[in-house]
Structures are given as C-alpha cells and as structure tokens.
Structure 1
Amino acid sequence: MKKWNDYMLKTKMFVTFSVVSLFIVILTCLIFYYKNVSDIKNQTVSLSDTITRQFSRTVELYIQDIEKLSVSIFGDPVLQRSLLDHYQSKNDVEQNEIELTINKRLFTHLQPRPQLQSIYLFALDNVVYYVSKANGPKVSFSLLDEFWYNNNESVMRNKFFLLPVTEEDTGGGRQEKVISFVRNINRIPYREIIAYMKININVKVIDNMLVHSDSNEVERNMRVFIVTEEGNIVYDNKNELTGRTNIDLDTSIFAGESRSGDMIWNGKQYLYTYEKSDYTKWNTMILIPNDFLLSKQKKSQYILILVGLLAMLLIAVVSYILSHHITLQLRYMMKKMNRVEQGDLNQRMEFKGNNEISRLSRIYNNMLDSISRLISEVYESKLAEKNAQLSALQAQINPHFLYNTLNIMKSISRIRGIEEVAEMSESLAELFQYSMNNLQHPVPLREELNHIGNYMNIQQHRFSDRFELSCDIPEALRKASVLKLTIQPLIENAINHGLGKMKTGGCITLSARRNGDNLVIEVTDNGKGMDEEKLLELQRSLHSPFRINELRDDMHGIGLQNIGQRIRLFYGEKSDLTIVSSPGRGTTVKLEFPYQTYEQEEKEAAVHEHIFSGR
C-alpha cells in the first residue's frame, strides 16, 4: 500500500478538497433536515389551528343566525295570537283555522332556507304544529314523546340548547340526519311559557361550511369532527361517524389547557388541534395522521439526499478541476521535457510571471535556442528551394498562359480558314476563362448557361448529331444566383455515362422552376439509366463524408459528390442533390437550393464586407 507522500500532488489535493467539502455538505444537510422536519410539523399545526378556529367560528355564526330566526318566530304577533287562540278554541273548525294559520307562518320562515329540514311548535297540551320539507304523511306525536322535555328544568333555565344528531324521516323511506335547535316560547309581554319550538337543521349544511381545497395536502388528509362535551359526534367530514357516540375518542383533552398535541385513535397516531365554542358548547377538532407528516418528511428527505448527491458530485468535479488546474503547469512542463528527451527540440515553454516555474521555463528555453536556430536555418533554406520549384511548375501550367495560347490558335485557324478549329478554340478559351477563379462565388444563372453553351459547342463538334440539349428555363429565372460549375458537370455526366453508347436520338433536358422559396434545377437524359444497386451505391456516396479523392470516379463521372458538398456548404441544410434513375428510362439529377437573385446576393455580400471590414 502506498504511503501518503507517494501519491501525486494532484491526487492529494483532490482527496483533501473532497473530504473537507463533503463533510461540510453532509453536516449542512443534516442540520437542514432536522430543521425542515420541525418546520413542517409547526406549519401543519399552525394551518390546522387556523382551519379549526375558522370552521368553529363559521358554525357559531350559523347557529347565531338560527337563533335570530327563532327570535323572529318567537315574536311573530300572528303566532303569539294563534297560540293563545289555540288554548281558547272550543271546536275542531276553530282548531283547523288556527293550525292553518300557524303552519302558513312557519312555512314562510322555513321555505327560504334550504338548509332547514323542519320547524315544530309544541303546545303545552301535547298538540304539535309543524312544517317540513318532507313529502311524507303527517305523523302524530306530542311534547311528551320528546326525550329532551323530561329535563324540563333545563329547558326553563336555558334560552336555547342544541340536541345531538338524530335522524328524521323525509318520506319515501329516506332518513336525513339533523341537528335540533330547541327553545321555549314565552307569552309577550309576560314571561310565561306558552309553547316550545324545535328547528331541525340538515347536517349537510355544516359540510358546505368547510372549505374544500384539493390543492392543499393538509386539507385532503385531515379528519374534521364537531364533538359535544358528552362525546357525541355532531359532524364528521368523512360522513362515517356523524350522530354516533362512544367512538373511543378521548374527550379529556377538551378539559386541558393545550389546544394541540398528539393522540392515539383507532390504533393510529394523530396530531390534533381543537377549538371550543362558548356559544354552542361544541368542540371543533381536526386530526392529521402522522403518516401524512412522515410522507412530507420523506419527501424532504429524498430532496435533501438528491441535493446532497448533486452537491457531492459538483464538489468532486470542482475539486478535480481545481487540482488539475493547479498542477497543470507542472504536468505541461513534464510533457515538454519528455518530448525533448525523445528528440523534439522545438518544444518551448511560455509561462508569464516571476514564479519558480516561469524562471525554470526561461532557463529551459535558453538551453534549446542555439540548436533550434541551426535547425530553423536548414529548414528555411530547404523550404525556399521547394517553393521555387513549385512556382516554376505553376508558371508552366498557368491558366492565363493556356487561355492566351488558345486565343493565338483561334486567330491562326481563322487566318488559314479552318473555322471549325477556331470555333472550338474560342469555346475552349471561354471555358478556361469562366473556370479560372472565384469558384466559391455565385454567378447569374445565365452565365452558367453560357458556359454550358460553350461546352456543348465543343461536344457537338466531337459527337456531331448523336444528341441534343433542350433548355426549359424561364427568362425570369436566368437572373437567379447559382454557384459556378454546378450545372455543367451534370451535363457532362449525362453525355459520358448516360448517352455515351447511343449512336443517335440522345436527348438532354435542362429545366428550372421555383418551388416556394427554393430554386429547382433538373438535368434529365434518355440514356441507359442505372439499376437499383448502382443507384443506391451512388446515393450512399453522395451522403458520405466529403473526401478529396472521391471528386472523380470511373462510374459516376466528375463532380457529383463535389457539387453536393459545395451547395450544402454554401446554402446549408436547405439544399439537396437527388438522383432518380431506372434501367432503359434515363436518369434525372435534381438540384434544389434557396432562390435568390444575383443582385440580392451582391448587395448582401457588400453589406457583409462593409460590416466586417469596419468601413
């Protein structure tokens, strides 16, 4: 096992930086995790407490509104007079009129409030007047049948009281759970009790008071109860325990000072908050399962683990880059010295500054200067000799020399009356002049057509009437901008490879058209065509990476791959070269690239030159 001092400086720096940084990251993540867990619990308790107080207050306000309704019924002069008449009535006709009057007044108070189920007036002689939203038949009952009336002393002492949830028949065999609001009715202005009133409220109205929000995870997972001091469930938001008693809910917590804490119910751990209403004497309780808090903690834990891993990865990368950068100059110097040791005396080290490495590099460079100077002198002398030979060779094949020679041949041929040779010399001279320079710059399509005309003039003298060229190019498109020598090589390929073996009847068609924003040029021949295998091979070669030695081959002629690469380099991905061919039906080569007039091209080139030249 290696000792610590035996490791490379880069390795020791990387390990040291990584260990220290990772320790800080892990410690930070642990502190943040425990702080986040505590914050989640506190936030959940705070939100639950807010919902509890708001819900309790909403229920309290609603019961206050019912009390106001009871007061309006209590003080209704028609009802007061009708109740007094009830005790003085002597026959059934008068009693029916009183019942009709009382029920009509009760109905005006019941009907506008959809949350009310029924209203009862219990006379002291066991006669009951009531109106209900149920469609069932009228049921006979009396004050003595009401369980709450047995504690008459309590009824007398309280202004009103609320009964636990019971079920009321709404007709058709349906039962609705209701909360009963009970109070006595005194004779005005006297204080003697003349009747008792009971208002039944549908429990569903409480469910409408609870604000439901699917976007809040706490509200989706909480359990809401309204519990009396005796442990009766007035309301359960899951509608499972409403109206039930003895559900093993620890009501002793309502006597404590703390309004939140932890409790166990049905074998599960819950976080609870409650609010007691001094008005209704009901306790509003919200239970939040610990499983929900654990899931929130797990989410936080997963996020911290992910952040910790990313931080560790980032620290490792930064530590590596830092150690790499610090030792880069040393490794660079070692690399240079190794090359010098292998015989490469041209290696130099350029470190600016006045530190130890910079001084060492200058001493190293001075040691190699004299040897490098000798080698440089020998190399420059040989290079000058080689350039002189190359210049002499270029002078011999200078295109201007060939162009001038062809013009001389043309003049001599016409002086001696050999017009055919003069015409071929002139066409060949124009071919040389056209292709002499600026192949990378576009020209008007008409110039490329003139170049094709010179080429076809020479070929007509060579092949006589074996084939003909047909041009279908509108005059408006002849000003389009095209690259030099992109169409003529297609004509040449059509002659050499498509019509080469035809004795007569050969036809080449050159056409141009607009396709949206693109210019399409097609060269079609009626030659022998290609079979599928050769066509696929040609298409593969056109889409293969460009290589100089593939600009010409025996099968495909000159320039197909060159043309495809040139238009792609100049016009980008919007350009394409495609080939369609079949045996005995000829071949069609199609060029497609963005349409632009030559004048537009010249203006854009001038603007581009002006911007980049700074003029």
Structure 2
Amino acid sequence: MRRWNDRMLKTKMFIAFSVVSLFIVGITCSIFYYKNTSDIQHQTFSLSNIISKQFSEMIDLYMRSVEELSLAISIDPSIQNILFDFYKASDPVEKEVVGYKLNPILFNFSYPKTYVQSISIYSLDKHLYQYSKLVEPKPRELLSEEQLKEFSGSLNREPFALLPSAEVHADKEGSPERVVSFIRKITKIPTQTIIGFVSIQINVNAFNMVLANATANELESTMHVLIVADEGRIIYENGSSPNEEARFDTRVFEHTGSEGELRWKDTDYLYTFVRSSYTGWHTVILIPKHVLLLKQKRIQDIVLLVGMLTMLSIAAVSYLLSHQITLPLNKLMRHMSRVELGDFSHRMEYAGRNEIGKLSRMYNHMLGSISRLIHEVYESKLAEKNAQLSALHAQINPHFLYNTLNIMKSISRLRGIEEVAEISESLAGLFQYSMKNLHQPVTLREEIEHIGNYFKIQQHRFGSRILLHCDIPPELLEASVLKLTVQPLVENAVNHGLRRVKAGGRITIRAAQAEGVLTLTVQDNGEGIADKEKARLEESLRKTNPLNPYDEDSRGIGLLNIRQRIQLYYGKDYGLSIYSKPGEGTSVSLVIPLAVKLDSAKEAAL
C-alpha cells in the first residue's frame, strides 16, 4: 500500500471529503436519532403522566359519587327505622319480613347509578339484606364476627373502606364482571352510635367509560391501564379481567421517580403511576416498548436514507471539485517540467480569477523574476568582488594609524617626553584591543586592562580629580565577558557623571557571582541622572530588543548597544539595569552567565 503523501491530489481530496463527510453525517444522524428517540420517550412519559392523572381524578370522582350515595343511604330515615324495627323483632321470620322492606328503598338508590351493581345492608348481628341488579345474583353471605370487628375498627379511623372483590360474576351475556365494595357505617341520629353497615358494590367495568378517548392514537390504543391497591392486588385492568392471583410488583411504588421501565406478563413496558390520596389506589399506565421501538425503527430508516443520499451527493461533488482543481495543476506541472530543463519561455494560459488563475499569473511572474535574477546574480558577484577589495583597502588605514602611534611613542621616549609616550602607548593599546574580534568573548582581566589604558589617558586630562578602584575577586578575573561591555560604562561615568567634579571623583568596578550568574557593577559618585532623563532612558531600554534596533537619535546609545549585544549573545534573560539618584551618583549593573575562560596553558594542562 502506497504512502498517503504519494497519492494523487484528486484521490486524497476524494478520500478526505468522503471520510470527513461520513464522520459529520454520521455524528449528525446519530445526534438526530438519539435526540428524537429521547424526545419520543420523554413525550411518552409526559402523555402517560397526563393520562394517569386524568384517569385517577376520574376514578376519584366516581368514588366521591359513591361516597355521597353511601352517605345518603346511611342517613335515610326509612332505612334507620327499618333497622330499629329489625332489632326490636325477636322472631327470625319477622326479621326477614322487616328486612324485605329495604328492597324498594335500595332499588330507588341504585337504579339511577349505572355503575352500582348491588347494595347490601349489614346489621350488627351478621344479617345481610341485599339488592342486586344481576339476573342471577350471588347467594347472600353473612358477615362473620371477625369481619364485623374489622369493619368497626377500620371505620372508626376512616369514613369509608374499599374492599377489592376477588369474585367474577356473569351478566345476561355471560361477560365477566368484577366489583369493588365500598363500605360505610350507619350511625343512629343524633347519638352517632353504629347500628349497621352499608356496602355498595361498584362494577369496575364502568371505569372503561373513562378511557372512551383512549383510541385517539396508536400509543394510547396500545397502553394498559391498571388500578392497583397498596398490597399489589389488581383492582382494574383495561381490556381483560384481572386474575385474582395476579399481583403487581409494589417495589415500583417505592422508587423515587414515578416513571421507568418494567417487565409485566413477559412484556417490557414503560410505566408511570399516580397514587390517589382519596382512595389510596395507584393508577398505573403501561406502554409497550415495542411501540416505541417501532417508531424508533421508522426514524432510523429515515436517518439512514437521508445519510446515504447525503454521502452520495458529497462524494459526487468532491470528485467533480477535485477534478476541476487538479486539471490546471497537472497542466502547471507539465510546464514546470520544461523549466527544470532550463526552458523559461513557456507561460501558463489561464483566464480565471480564482486561486488557480492567481497561481498561473504568479507562476508567469516567477519565471520573469527568475530570468531577471539570473542576470542580476552575475552583476552582484562583480559588485561583491569590488566590495571585498574596498574592505581590504579600508583595513590598511587602522593598521597605519596603529603603527604611527608606536612610532610617536618611540620618538617621545628618545626625546624624553614621557607623557606623550605614555599617552601614545595607552592609545595604541586601546586601538589594538578594539581591532581584534569584537564579537569574541575575552577574560574580565583583559577588559580591566583595556579600562586601565583608557583611564591613563583620562588622568592626563583630569589629573587627580577622579580615581578608579577595582573590587574584583581574583577568581573572577578569568570570567568570560563580551569585549567592550564594561569600558563604555566607565566612559559614561567619566563623561557624564564626573564631568563637573572638581575633586574627589571616584569610579568603582565591582564583580560578584551567585547561582551561576556574574554581576558587574560600575558606580560613580557624580551628579546622577535627573528623574525625567532616567525615565526616558529606561523607556528606551525597555523598547529596544535584539530584533528591534535602537533609534540612533535616542539618548544612551552606548547603554542600548551594550544591552543589545548581551541579549543577542546570551539571551533575553540577561542585560543591564540602572540605579541613579540626583546628587548621589549612578550605578549600572551588567548581568551575564558566569563562564570561566581558560588560557592556552591551562587548557593544555587539562
């Protein structure tokens, strides 16, 4: 397999566009898919929550209507009088006759209520009187003493009790029915003593009326609605009669959230539930996951189709675009191959104003420039030869001046003019020192000797008005420094700091080292620098850097030159600093890396 860089531009553009577009389209489609599936699940939970709340509220309305009916029965004067007559009768037959008087009264109460299947009146001695709408009613069952005690205990705490029935009855058509018993105590007015119980059996199939609009869409038509008691008994399930032995997993109700996923009757569902504070029942909405998966499958198919069409479109566009780009480039390559052979006469012909057109025009200009430069190179070579000859000629003058100074020194000593000889010797030393390799480091000892020659000349000018003192440890005399970095500082001190001193002028040169850094300080006790002038000088030092030459018209050219040389040679972490106070003198410090320059004898010994 060839390397990537060796492939043709057209191939690389096509592969790059395809891979990038595949990545972008894949990411976009994935985000779109997961966002939509998340939205569908969120909308499903929201709709399910709304339905469960509405259904729970409707059930509460039904049960409040039943509560009102039970209250009306419990306080009905006729029923209370019949119960009083029942307790007064001693003969069982007479009790039955009295009990039958309840039938027309219970009929009047239950007839308008379609959801009421039967109404039963229990006396305190376990007798039952029942009115039922069933054609074949269930035989009457008497209450046991335990049931009576249970009713009495629970109804002392609550106004009513709900007992889910586990029995399945049949009406005329034989369809299964299930009832819920609503039990309320009957109290004597006005003493409020219990004289009996009323039990209203509610047909749970009447709850289907609440779901009359449940077929509005595919989602609502496939959902399951359960009404579950706290102990897990299923009171109502739409679409089928609940199994008496079936129990709902009550751990669902213990979760912090009211929605999630569960498995019910070997099917995976999304669930939401609402607990009624009135009945204590949980209304559970179950939505099969396969319904959501079907919608997700539709979205997935749409996303894949759109992604494939987008990929094909991008691939076609990238191929055509790469072809349009590489066609003129191939033509340019053919022209350049001729240039390799030395033929500069061929030019590109491309009239477009795009990048290829600009490249073609630049190529043509480049060929013209190359042709012109070829001729200029010959001329520059001749000019360089002439410049070298001029430089050699210029070097003759410094050597001539140096030799002349030595002749002056010899003649002065022969004639006994020692001062002139000393000045000539010092000036020759200065000139000789300055002529040698300005950019090569020297030892601090050599720089101090050069300063000594300079100071000898100045003493002939100032006499004893100024003195030079060196405070340099012997081990630092072999330290490496750049040539002519300390002497200009001494010259500045003489020309600026001590120029007006009549007597007692002093220049001190100090050297110290710490942590691999050498600090050289030149201090004078002259007039110092005014604050305004010092601020201007510090600003010039701050703006000047190795890549930004200093302004020749600015003040402190010597200091700026020294700082540039130090930073060019050692780096921007090194340089110089100025401390001055008017009337107290000036101190300039050089900071450079500490390096010891060994002489040739020591190097040979090592």
TM-score by length of 1: 0.49
* Larger-Rg structure: 2
TM-score w.r.t. the length of structure 2 is 0.50
